[in-house]
Amino acid sequence: MIPYGKHYIDDEDIQAVINTLRSNNLTQGPVVSEFENSLSKYVGSKYAVAVSSGTAALHLANIAAGMTNGFFGITSPITFVSSANASLFCSGNVLFTDIDKNYVNISLDKIHSLLNKYKNKIKTITPVHFAGLPLDLSSLKNLVKDEDVTIIEDASHALGALYPDGSKVGSCKNSDMTVFSFHPVKAIAAGEGGAITTNNYDIYKNLLRLRSHGINKLDDEFVFRDQATENGVVDPWYYEMQSLGYNYRITDIQCALANSQLKKLDQFIDRRKSIVKTYDEAFCNIKNIKLCQQIGRNLSAHHLYVIKIDFKSLKKSRNQVMMELRSKNIGTQVHYIPVYRHPFYKILGYAASDFPSSEDFYETALSIPIYYSLSDEEQNYVIQSIMEVVK
């Protein structure tokens, strides 16, 4: 089976995990900070906080942003549910904006209208860099310059992606925080895992507390200093839970794998770019197929390769196409069911009619295989098979 995506593990990755398994620390050890330092250095941020998943990262970022009851978070509906759920985790509300047809990212024009409609009620904006293509963050930052709004980049697809000025996604040059995911189908794998990067020291300290039960970290002052010290010296067992936090810690085992994978990230992305170029050349003039995100090919991390198929003209349903490809041992997927279509969000009053571009994308989108170890021979077979099914 040729899946739509999968991880790549080599002997160096395996040895890195073995070394950690043979060490004194399986969790809360030095490998976590080693990975955080490597990640922040790679993306160009001052700080990085590694956590147990991308969802955990989004949750903590929303808490750090001050999301709470009575406020709203804006995000794209073409994403996994975690991008929206993170606001609800904090008792906030979610506002979806339609996508830009060319970029499949959140529409800046729609954000502007929501800022005017919900004046002083927007707490966060979480742009999703869909499939690895970054949103124009400088324009978004300029749009909210007079607003008390925290920008949280959902870069779960976009580790290794670039902005037009050459800086990396995660540098937080035009945002407050950036969130990554290290799920096995993402750019690098940690089994499960996530991270938040930031340039704000206070946010960084807060995130460290939040991922570990709200317990004081770094140079936090003790609230009950008289209970913490003896003759001016801090008791070696003493710590304080100063706020409500979570057990969102990541293990040294996971970070050992992630750190080893990070060293190969540029190599991974170069291969993905080559695969994208071959697909673009093959499908650019095929009836019933349209290409997505052709703008910015050199900037994207290419987590996904999505084609838009005119199923009505083809007179086949998407299910039929997927089943025919599966019979040829080719796996495909749909990214994503728009979040507002899920029963939970339907009950909250979101209507598909408010998002025509998202609906058009959802009705036609199909993700086809792209991953580092996809061979030229396998890709050519995928192309040939899609041609047969779609023609």
Torsion of the alpha carbons at 245, 250, 252 and 256, rounded to the nearest 10:
-150
pLDDT of residue 96: 97
Q: pLDDT grade, residue 232 (50/70/90)? A: confident
When pLDDT is averaged across residues 136-163 and rounded to a whole number, the result is 96
pLDDT of residue 74: 98
Please report whether residue 6 resides in a domain: no
Q: In terms of domains, do 84 and 194 share one?
A: yes
Q: In terms of domains, do 76 and 218 share one?
A: yes
- Give alpha helix (H) positions in 65-166: 82-89, 108-117, 137-143
pLDDT, tens digit, 9 for 90 and up, residues 285-323: 999 999 999 999 999 999 999 999 999 999 999 999 999
pLDDT, tens digit, 9 for 90 and up, residues 48-70: 999 999 999 999 999 999 999 99
Please report whether residue 187 resides in a domain: yes
pLDDT at 146 over 90: no
pLDDT, tens digit, 9 for 90 and up, residues 265-275: 999 999 999 99
Number of domains in the chain: 2
Q: Is the entire prediction scored with pTM above 0.95?
A: yes
pLDDT at 218 over 90: no
Q: Please enumerate in sequence order all residues whose Cβ is within 8 A of that of 367, keeping only pairs 6 or more positions apart, or say none.
A: 4, 5, 304, 305, 306, 332, 333, 334, 335
Q: Which two tokens stand for residue 21?
A: 């398994």
Q: pLDDT grade, residue 386 (50/70/90)? A: very high
Range of the domain at 78: 11-262
Q: pLDDT grade, residue 20 (50/70/90)? A: very high
pLDDT at 121 over 90: yes
- Ramachandran quadrant class, 6 (left: phi over 0; alpha: psi -120 to 50; beta: rest): beta
Q: Say which CATH number the domain at 305 has.
A: 3.90.1150.10
Q: In terms of domains, do 257 and 269 share one?
A: no
Integer Cα distance of 152 and 176 in angstroms: 6
